[in-house]
Every structure is written in C-alpha cells, then in structure tokens.
C-alpha cells in the first residue's frame, strides 16, 4: 500500500498522467457556496487559510474533463452544484442536520451503473467528526470508508484532487488502498499531513502494510 500526499495543483499533476491512470477518483472540489453564504466563517478563524475565502471557486469544465480522462470511475461530492452527465447512481448523505436553514444532507454524483444509495451518518458541527475541524468542508473518515467499501475493489488505485483535511488518506490507510492526493493550499496541506501522521502513530484497527507518504512541494498556483 502506498499513500502519496502532494502539495501541488491537481490540474498540473493530472496533465502528467496517462489516460485511466487511476481506478477511482473520489473528490470534494469547492462548490462556491461558502463565498455566498459565509457559512463557517464565524465558527473558527482556522477554517479559512491565509489565502482568504477566495479558495472556494467552482472548477471549470476542463477540471472535470481531466478528472474523467485520468480515472475509470468517479465519485464527486456536491455533484448537484456542477454540470455533470446524467447518473442513476447518486449517493445521498443524510446528515440529520438540525438547523433549518442548512441542507439536511449532501448529494454525491457517481459514474457507476447501480442504484442510488443513502449514507446515513449524523454529522453537523463537530458531531460525527473524529477531530476538531480545521477545514470548512471537512468530511468524516467514516464517509470515505463507506465509499471505499461500497464502490472500490481491493487493489484499486484511488485519486483525490482536493485533499483538504485528508480524511480520505486516513480511510485509505485503514482499509489498505493505494492513494494519490493533491492539495494546493500549503496551510491545509501541512495541517492534513500532521493529522494523517498522528493517526498512523496511533495505530489502525485494520493493521495494513507499512505506508509510504511522499510530500512534494510545488510552485503551481
């Protein structure tokens, strides 16, 4: 098992890849909604990096074209915010959100040919989180473990283009999947790597093979 964590621009990285280099891409790109609603900005000053709130851009068509070129299948968090092909295999994450002006859940688009599924897992504020949040769109490790269990096969290579808090790295470590992850923001990258290293130091329930973590700095913006 190899987990590679890259501090780089995902577009620059994907440009170096051959077609279908990865079996499955599980990604959580920015939706553009935090800049509109300012959600999270009052919870903690650490939920935004020193780059400010401008990080919450909406990826263009070129990003999705590249993502689908370099991976056989894709799972895209917040898929309802993007112009994506029709799918009959959506995932609804039921968060049990008690705040009336927040969505009760989240939609994940998939490229698979199967039925729509529900991931029922309460997660609002810090409820359901395994650590204090430091990223505004931080996802629980349990979500990624569920996605890997239901949509990935043993031995497959996983790609994440927007690593954020690196919950997916912890999930791949726990379940023994190869992962390559990109995170452009240096602050989130460093915080995510520290979180991942702390998790490895604590040990894992599944005791996978030793993992190699590679950090690559890039000047790409």
Whole-angstrom distance, CA of residue 109 vs CA of residue 64: 12
The domain total for the chain is 1
pLDDT in tens, the chain (221 residues): 999 999 999 999 999 999 999 999 999 999 865 544 444 433 334 444 444 445 556 889 999 999 999 999 999 999 999 999 999 999 999 988 877 777 889 999 999 999 999 999 987 655 555 666 788 888 999 999 999 999 999 999 999 999 999 999 999 999 999 999 999 999 999 999 999 999 999 874 444 443 343 444 333 22
- C-alpha to C-alpha distance for 194 and 198, rounded to whole angstroms: 6
Range of the domain at 93: 3-217
| Rg of the Cα atoms in the chain | 16
Q: From 45, 35, 29, 135, select the one nearest 81 (Cα to Cα).
A: 29
Q: What is the CATH number of the domain that holds 178?
A: 3.40.50.150
Contacts of 219 (CB under 8 A, 6+ apart): none
Instruction: Give ∠ CA 156-158-164 in degrees, rounded to 5.
Output: 160
């Amino acid at each position: 098992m190899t987990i590679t964590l890259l501090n780089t621009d995902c577009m620059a990285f994907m440009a170096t890849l051959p077609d279908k280099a990865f079996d499955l891409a599980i990604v959580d790109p920015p939706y553009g909604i935090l800049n509109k609603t300012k959600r999270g900005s009052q919870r903690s000053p650490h939920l935004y990096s020193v780059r400010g709130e401008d990080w919450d851009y909406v990826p263009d068509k070129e990003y999705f074209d590249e993502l689908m070129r370099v991976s056989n299948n894709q799972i895209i968090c917040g898929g309802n915010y993007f112009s994506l092909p029709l799918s009959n295999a959506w995932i609804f994450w039921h968060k049990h959100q008690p705040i009336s002006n927040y969505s009760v859940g989240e939609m994940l688009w998939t490229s698979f040919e199967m039925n729509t599924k529900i991931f029922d897992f309460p997660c609002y504020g810090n409820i359901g989180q395994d650590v204090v949040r430091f990223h505004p769109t931080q996802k629980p490790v349990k979500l990624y473990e569920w996605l890997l269990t239901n949509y990935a096969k043993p031995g497959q290579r996983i790609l994440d283009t927007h690593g954020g808090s690196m919950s997916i790295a912890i999930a791949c470590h726990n379940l023994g999947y190869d992962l390559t992850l990109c995170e452009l923001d240096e602050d989130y990258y460093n915080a995510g790597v520290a979180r991942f290293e702390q998790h490895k130091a604590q040990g894992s329930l599944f005791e996978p093979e030793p993992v190699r973590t590679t950090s690559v700095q890039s000047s790409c913006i």
